[in-house]
Amino acid sequence: MSTLTADDLRARVGELLAAHPPASTDRLEFLRARFDAGLAWVHYPAGLGGLDAPRELQNVVEAELAKAGAPDNNPRRIGIGLGMAAPTILRFGTEEQKQRYLRPLWTGEEVWCQLFSEPGAGSDLAALGTRAVRDGDEWVVNGQKVWTSVAHIARFAILVTRTNPDVPKHQGMTYFICDMTDPGVEVRPLRQLTGEAEFNEVFLSGVRIPDANRLGAVGEGWKVAQTTLMNERVAIGGNAIPREGGLIGMVSQTWRDRPELRTPELHDRLLKLWVQAEAARLAGTRLRQQLAVGAPGPEGSAMKLAFANLQQALTGLEIELSGEDGLRYDDWTLRRPEKVDMLGRGPGYRYLRAKGNSIEGGTSEVLRNIISERVLGLPSEPRVDKDVAWKDLPR
């Protein structure tokens, strides 16, 4: 870790702004220059968009750049790359992989998706059946993935496959980087409850992936995937929001705007949810502080679980507070959005979209198991398939 201070970073930001004035510099050119200056994510290594500086100093950089009107890298659009692919590549990737992928990932020139969930594996990622068979210096991949956000605009994907069916399910997996433009990759829209196709099905038919695109050792895909999943849960449940920001802010405003719909029972529910939202916000701050000093732990699962419960409760209350207006839906036209727009749509959309929060990023049932076993230290759930070869598991 370097000894850079906040003043040192302010000076570096000043140098970047002097060399690339935001008002007269192309957006992409500015972002590339920011990455090369080590100001993309200051806690990353030098040469990879960072300066080996303490993670909390990123706030100093963001404040200085915002004050200067500098463009951002649209983190909501490229959230999977930033929150899941990047930390996994940083930890398990080769130097060549880091140099190749991290810069265009951060600038948004290359969007990433996550090929994890499968229709036959349910909520048990370790049961996945997409096969990768080695053929010389390449792997031939066949299978199907589902619930894949932004696959329709993604250039690359992080992919978990089954490479050895003769060992227990957690031991025979291998992790790859998949080029979504390669022959054999087919993306089909998956229309959701909201009417839009934010998710996709992805079919992999004879896709050839170079061994050079493997992340981690053969057979250790579960270990690599755990890094991705823990970062995913922090990314979903630990976002920084101001007090009374996000959904609780919108619901509170609806309460203020519609006095004719108020009842004592709704008032009681709003107060309880406001307290829960504030507790979740402060817990998220604590989680990010923990992240600043090391890898995310299983506590991120608790944040993601709390986030899902709160989102669903808030959107349900908002529907009730909105009266007849809450039952109207803004648009059923099929869309394929690049990001979830919870705050930019109506109460009906938010209510329907929030249903997915208890599934995406690990179901609430799986997260409760993680919390009970790895956070609270309670006895493990009986697992009769723990020592059974994957090929012998009933399906």
DSSP string, 328-389: --S--S----SS--TTTS-HHHHHHHGGGGGTTTS-HHHHHHHIIIIIS-PPPPP-TTTTSB
Tokens linked to 331? 């648009």
At 217 the pLDDT is: 97
Q: If DSSP codes are grouped into helix, strand and coil, which group holds residue 214?
A: strand
Cβ neighbours around 130 below 10 Å, total: 23
Residue 359's pLDDT is 85
pLDDT at 99: 97
Please give the pLDDT value at position 154: 96
Per-residue pLDDT at 297: 67
Q: Nearest-CA neighbor of 339 among 242, 251, 235, 240?
A: 235
**Catalytic pick among 232, 338, 360, 365:** 232
Query: Token digits for 259?
Result: 């006095």
Task: Evaluate the CA torsion angle 124, 127, 129, 133 in order and state its sign.
Answer: positive
pLDDT confidence of residue 295: 59
Domains and CATH numbers, the chain: 7-72 (no CATH), 112-219 (2.40.110.10), 226-376 (1.20.140.10)
Beta partners for residue 134, in sequence order: 139
Q: What pTM, to 2 d.p., does this model score?
A: 0.86
CA 61/CA 166 separation, integer angstroms: 50
Tell me if 79 sits within 8 A of 108, measured CB to CB. Answer: no
pLDDT at 65: 96
pLDDT given at position 362: 79
pLDDT at 157: 98
Q: What pLDDT score was predicted for residue 296?
A: 62
Count of C-beta atoms within a 10 Å radius of residue 106:
24
The pLDDT tens digits along the chain (395 residues) read 778 999 999 999 999 999 999 999 999 999 999 999 999 999 999 999 999 998 889 989 999 999 999 999 988 889 899 989 999 999 999 999 999 999 999 999 999 999 999 998 877 888 999 999 999 999 999 999 999 999 999 999 999 999 999 999 999 999 999 999 999 999 999 998 888 898 999 999 999 999 999 999 999 999 999 989 887 777 666 566 788 888 999 999 999 998 888 899 999 999 999 999 999 888 888 777 776 666 566 777 888 898 899 999 999 999 988 888 877 887 788 888 887 888 888 899 999 999 989 988 778 888 898 888 888 889 888 877 878 999 998 87
Q: Is 232 a catalytic residue?
A: yes
Residue 123 is predicted with a pLDDT of 74
Strands 173-179, 156-162: parallel, antiparallel or unpaired by DSSP? antiparallel
